[in-house]
Amino acid sequence: MRLILILTKPPSNLLVQNDCVKLASPAMPSNHKVGLYLIGDAVFCAKKGQGIAENLGRLILYGGEVFVCKEDLDALRYPKW
């Protein structure tokens, strides 16, 4: 079974991010494939130094996958203003 969680909230909302990672963690020992998809303001979570970055690293270390929306990531790197 594959479990994909979609995260849309910015890193300032640590409660939501940590809950998302906590939901994913129990599924991994049961041989389920777990993925976390960052979209919108959640792409900031993938930046080094964010509070959730450590949890994302742990998720990857234990076999989870983290996906980031390319368009939102490009908007972060190359703002149009």
**Domain edges within the chain:** 2-77
Q: Could you tell me the pLDDT band of residue 79, with boundaries at 50, 70 and 90?
A: low
| CATH number listed for the domain at residues 2-77 | 3.40.1260.10
In this predicted structure, the answer to whether residue 81 has a pLDDT above a threshold of 70 is no
Report the alpha-carbon distance of residue 32 to residue 8 in Å, rounded: 23
| Span 3-14, average pLDDT | 81
pTM for this entry: 0.77
Which residue did the predictor score with more confidence, 35 or 19? Answer: 35
Residues in contact with 61: Cβ distance below 8 Å, sequence separation at least 6, in sequence order: none
Q: Per residue in 20-61, pLDDT tens?
A: 777 777 766 777 788 889 999 888 887 777 777 777 887 888
